[in-house]
Amino acid sequence: MSPLRDLQRDFQRYVTQRDDAMRNQVVDTAQVSAETRLAIYADGYRLRLLEALEDTYPALKQYLGESRFTAAGLAYIDAHPSTYPSIRWFGDCMAAFLRSDASPCDEPVVAELAAFEWSLRGAFDDADQAVTTLEDIAAIPPEEWPVMHITLHPSVRRLDLQWNTTSIWNALEDGATPEPPEQGEYPTPYVIWRHELQQYFRSLPVDEAWALDQAATGMAFGDLCEGLCEWVDAEHVATRAAGFLQQWTVDGLVCAVATS
Amino acid sequence: MTAATTSDKRPYLGFGLGLRTDHYEEILARRPKVDWFEIISENYMVAGGKPLYYLDRIREHYPMVMHGVSMSIGGADSLDRDYLHQLKALAERVQPHWISDHLCWTGVDGKNLHDLMPLPYTEEAIQHVAKRVAEVQDYLERPFLLENVSSYVTYTRSQLSEWEFLTAVAEEADCHILLDINNIYVSAFNHGFEPREYIDRIPIERVYQFHLAGHTNHGDYIIDTHDHPVIDPVWELFAYAARRFGPVSTMIERDDNIPPLDELLTELVQAQAIAEPIYAEAAA
């Protein structure tokens, strides 16, 4: 083991766990003790990562308030040290952490709020891709529609939310007091995406959510129609599926259409 | 401001600013008189969306350099190949004049502390960093600069001064130096050395860029927070450095408490007003 690696391990353990093996490896100055000098790094570490979490989860912070957010953030920092070159990814496990026994928050809605904000953050800087237009769709000959399939924009994400999470998020965004958390009888499907640099989200009827999930896997339009018969009469199913496709295209969810 | 070229081979870009999200729209709308921008590389190592949209548009109008915070050139772990691959891909997009990172380590055993941790000033560390800089330069195929960091501790095992260490690494690795004038001031205060001696001992030809920034003074120690204007003693140190090194591409680095663009432009004009008469006098 190199002395350099030993030193870095000791210092990292000090910063992350306040392990005291570093104490004798740092000199005091006339004004400042080694403890104080070392603490600059340990304190800075937590402050910096807390700031990163605040940046990623502004609504979660507002919902929890300063002290509960700090408690949750510090617990997360201890449980999930960063392994990413960019601090932008540091909060990736926050929703799972808030659902776990290690979380100091016992309100289930906060984990959903974190999952929702992480999805918005992901849509923000996911890959760019030119979107398909209604003209592109119209150019597909009708006889090829049964085998037509689409590719969704890289920013498209799906979430099923159990709570009134988006109402709470909207209120926090507007600076209003959010309504109390309320669990729905069934989960509500949501789609989140970016179009022309702006993130969007909307709830989906259950048949549209199913169709979007299947379309994401490359299912052909004919098979989508067949599957949608579970919710829609056979005579109306093609209109319903075409309506979805039109809406997804107009909204910028679709970036390719093909028949082979 | 017009970028010029020095009589020697060192490229001179003039006076620049760190590119920050708060100023994207204003930069595009106003095209302020800034000779070049420095980007934080990691902020643009994303797949798409606003960061790359604005990067591309601003790059159309301004030269750029890339400045990273996570290479961990002094780290004990192997160099992160995936990170270097992303950095090279970003450089292909940006076509920067050079790429820089810090003479530090940022984590070990796969962790990232997201801080610029100081290295011990030892022969082992010199050899370790120099070998890695050579690898990085071979891979990136662009000029590479190492920046001196602010530090708050002195290791008992250090055998050299900071300037001896920085110089030895740069000479051994044959790389360039990004000299952060504020960091010299901060470290001089924290460790009790003479900042002008530091500047006097850095090899002139290796310095390609200066950083100027503000900090937070806690009385007994100073933390390099980049959230305040540059203070007078740092301006004085900058003037001293300008006399020693001649024309070096200089920028104001603000990372927190980001002010309106005009405030940073005013600081930049101040940097120019200090340095250009010194450069002109030396050239006369």
Distance, CA of A85 to CA of B157 (rounded, Å):
28
Q: Which residues of chain B does A124 touch, with a Cβ-Cβ cutoff of 8 Å?
A: 49-50
Provide the CATH number for the domain around residue B243: 3.20.20.150
State whether A197 and B108 contact (CB < 8 Å).
no
State whether A82 and B45 contact (CB < 8 Å).
no
Give the closest residue to A255 by CA, choosing from A211, A215, A213, A228.
A215
pLDDT, tens only, B161-208? 999 999 999 999 999 999 999 999 999 999 999 999 999 999 999 999
Contacts of A72 (CB under 8 A, 6+ apart): A64, A98, A103, A104, A105, A110
Provide the CATH number for the domain around residue A220: 3.90.930.50
B1 band by pLDDT with thresholds 50, 70 and 90: very low
**Predicted pLDDT of residue B138:** 97
pLDDT at B159 over 70: yes
How many domains does chain A divide into? 1
Give domain status of residue A207, yes or no: yes
State whether A15 and B105 contact (CB < 8 Å).
no
Low-confidence residues in chain A, pLDDT < 70: 1
Give domain status of residue B4, yes or no: no
| ipTM, interface predicted TM-score of the complex | 0.94
**Predicted pLDDT of residue B4:** 45
Of B111, B152, B156, nearest to A25 by CB-CB distance is B156
Domain limits at A205? 128-260
Give domain status of residue B75, yes or no: yes
Give domain status of residue B105, yes or no: yes
Of B75, B112, B114, nearest to A8 by CB-CB distance is B75
Mutate to test the interface with B, among A12, A23, A157 (most CBs of B within 10 A): A12
Of A32, A81, A87, nearest to B111 by CB-CB distance is A81
Give domain status of residue A151, yes or no: yes
Q: Which residues of chain A does B113 touch, with a Cβ-Cβ cutoff of 8 Å?
A: 12, 15-16, 41, 45, 82
pLDDT, tens only, B106-150? 999 999 999 999 999 999 999 999 999 999 999 999 999 999 999
Element (H, E) at A189: strand A183-195
Of A31, A44, A81, nearest to B115 by CB-CB distance is A44
**Min Cα separation A9/chain B (Å):** 6
pLDDT at B268 over 50: yes
State whether B49 and A9 contact (CB < 8 Å).
no
> In the structure encoding, which two tokens stand for residue B227, read together?
């959230």
Mutate to test the interface with B, among A125, A128, A153, A193 (most CBs of B within 10 A): A125
State whether A31 and B221 contact (CB < 8 Å).
yes
**Predicted pLDDT of residue A30:** 85
State whether A88 and B42 contact (CB < 8 Å).
yes
CA distances from B284 to A227, B7, B250, B277 (A): 82, 13, 21, 10
Nearest CA in chain B to A24: B156
Give domain status of residue A248, yes or no: yes
**Min Cα separation A213/chain B (Å):** 22
DSSP helix/strand/coil, B116: coil
Q: Which residues of chain B does A11 touch, with a Cβ-Cβ cutoff of 8 Å?
A: 117
State whether A125 and B51 contact (CB < 8 Å).
yes
Of A8, A84, A127, nearest to B47 by CB-CB distance is A127
pLDDT, tens only, B85-103? 999 999 999 999 999 999 9
Give domain status of residue A74, yes or no: no
Of A32, A44, A125, nearest to B48 by CB-CB distance is A125
Mean local confidence (pLDDT), B227-239: 96
Nearest CA in chain B to A83: B111
- Work out the number of other CB atoms within 10 angstroms of the CB of residue B225: 17
- Work out the number of other CB atoms within 10 angstroms of the CB of residue B74: 26
**Predicted pLDDT of residue B5:** 42
The answer to whether B70 touches B83, Cβ cutoff 8 Å, is: yes
Angle between helices B123-140 and B162-173 (to 10 degrees): 40
Give domain status of residue A258, yes or no: yes
Give domain status of residue A97, yes or no: no
DSSP helix/strand/coil, A149: strand
How many domains does chain B divide into? 1
Nearest CA in chain B to A5: B76
Distance, CA of B85 to CA of A208 (rounded, Å):
40
Domain limits at B191? 15-283
Q: Which residues of chain B does A29 touch, with a Cβ-Cβ cutoff of 8 Å?
A: 154, 190-192
Give domain status of residue A104, yes or no: no
Nearest CA in chain A to B116: A41
Give domain status of residue B203, yes or no: yes
Distance, CA of B181 to CA of B204 (rounded, Å):
14
DSSP A37-104: HHHHHHHHHHHHHHHHHHHH-HHHHHHHHHHHHHHHHHHHHHHS----SSGGGGGGGHHHHHHSTT-S
> In the structure encoding, which two tokens stand for residue B190, read together?
């924290």
Size of interface A-B (CB pairs under 8 A): 146
pLDDT, tens only, B53-93? 999 999 999 999 999 999 999 999 999 999 999 999 999 99
State whether A7 and B113 contact (CB < 8 Å).
no
Of B75, B152, B155, nearest to A25 by CB-CB distance is B155
Give the closest residue to A92 by CA, choosing from A53, A128, A126, A58.
A53
Give domain status of residue B3, yes or no: no
Q: Kindly give the residue spans of alpha helices, DSSP state H, lying in chain B.
A: 24-30, 50-59, 81-94, 123-140, 162-173, 181-191, 195-200, 232-245, 261-283
B8 band by pLDDT with thresholds 50, 70 and 90: low
Give domain status of residue B184, yes or no: yes
Mutate to test the interface with A, among B41, B57, B108 (most CBs of A within 10 A): B108
The answer to whether A172 touches A165, Cβ cutoff 8 Å, is: no
